[in-house]
Each structure stands twice: as C-alpha cells, then as structure tokens.
Structure 1
Amino acid sequence: MMSSLIMQLNIHEFCQYAELPQTVVLEIVEHGIVEPSGPTPEQWLFDASALATVKRAFRLQAELQIEWAGVALALQLLAELEQLRAENNHLHRRLSRFEQP
C-alpha cells in the first residue's frame, strides 16, 4: 500500500518558503488567489500547490505591476487556458486514431 505525503505549512513556514512577508500572503489570500484551510491566519494550513500558486502570483504582480485582483484574474485565465490545451490535446489524440494515414 502506497501512502502519499501531503505537505502542510502554517503561515510562518509558508511565508518562509515563499520568501514573502506575511502582509503580502494575507493580501493574496484576501483576493482568493489561494485558500488555506483553517478559520484564522494563526490556524491556516497551506499545501504545496498553494506555495507554487503564491510564487507565480507574486511574480506576475511584480513583472506586470498589476493589482492583486488583476493577478487573480490572470491566474484564473491561465488555468482555464491550460485546461483547454489539455482537453484539445486529448481530443487530437482520440481523433488521430480515426484518421486515415
């Protein structure tokens, strides 16, 4: 039986790994870019995907000089684009089985 280890970080560990001050992480959470589990910042737990998302969000915000609401929208659109590309690739593979050489 294989077990999978799930990384969970509290806010202090998360800020350390993300290399961001807590005020920035609070803003990112406030805009719904990541959603930690737990009712209060002291009890929040973040997973590895949240860490990747926050790093990507901060990079977008810094490079494009846009507000967090814009970053949230950009990340949503990028996720949708990635999903559509994956679906498109899947459909192309299925279609190629029926095409004549």
Structure 2
Amino acid sequence: MNESRTGWLECLIVEEQVEFTLFELCRATGTSEDQLALWIEQGAIEPKHVSENEEPRFDGASLRRVRTARRLAHDLEINAAGIALALDLLDEIEVLRAQLLRR
C-alpha cells in the first residue's frame, strides 16, 4: 500500500541588505535576547554597525548565523564559545567550497 505523507516547510526569504534590530532578530529566530547577547559577546554573531546613539543592527547573514547557532545549541547542546568556533569553521568550509567551484 502506498502511504502519502504531507509535510510543511516554513521558511523566510530575506535579502542580504535587509537590516534587523536586536528585537526583530530575536523574534525572527525564536532566540531570547539573553542568548543572543551571549553569542554576540563570544563573537559568534556580529552586529552590522554599532554606534553610541544607535541600536545594533544585523543583516541577512546574521539571521542565517543565529538560526544555525540556535540549532547547534539545541540539537548538539554546544555552549556559546563552541558555537562561535563552529560557525567560523562552517564559514571556512563555505569559502573552500566556493573556491573549488571556481576551478
């Protein structure tokens, strides 16, 4: 007998140029402000620009990094320092793959 399964995929398409406030980034990713602040402190996530008079802003790349960080924290129970390292290594892998494709 052939079973049919229907699944739902939820996604959000964001351009790289879109900017988020801290609150918006937390809301888009389901991450708490405390958790995000810890990841920022460890260097896993970096605000696009910060000045004394402005609230930190984040770009589309930050959105992807926070979502990946959240999965690493939840699925693998990695701490903030480990998440920063893992995200840096994933970035390096992406750069190396891009270089291979150009050859």
TM over 0.5: yes
The sequence identity of aligned pairs, in percent, is 33
- Point out where structure 2 has 5 or more consecutive residues left out of the alignment: 1-14
Count of matched residue pairs: 87
User: Which residue identity is paired with 2:83?
Assistant: V
Whose Rg is larger?
1
Q: Quick one: structure 1 residues 51 and 5, their matched pair in 2 at CA, closer, same or farther if it must change by over 3 Å?
A: closer
Please report the TM-score for the alignment, with normalisation by the length of structure 1: 0.76
Could you say if the C-alpha distance between residues 66 and 44 of structure 1 is closer, same or farther in structure 2, counting changes exceeding 3 Å?
Answer: same
Indicate whether 1:63 and 2:78 are aligned. Answer: no
The alignment's TM-score, normalised by the length of structure 2, stands at 0.74
Pairwise CA distance, 1:5: 8.2
- Distance of 2:38 and 2:59 partners within structure 1: 18
1:72: how far off?
0.9
Aligned residues: CA RMSD: 2.0
Pairwise CA distance, 1:19: 1.1
**Cα distance in 2 for residues equivalent to 1:6 and 1:17:** 16
**Structure 2 contact 73–83 (Cα < 8 Å) conserved:** yes
Gaps of 5+ in 1: 92-101
What is the CA distance between 1:85 and its match in structure 2? 1.6
Higher helix share: 1
Q: Counterpart in 2 of 1:30?
A: 41
Q: For residues 84-95 of structure 1, what are the structure 2 equivalents within 5 Å?
A: 84-91=96-103
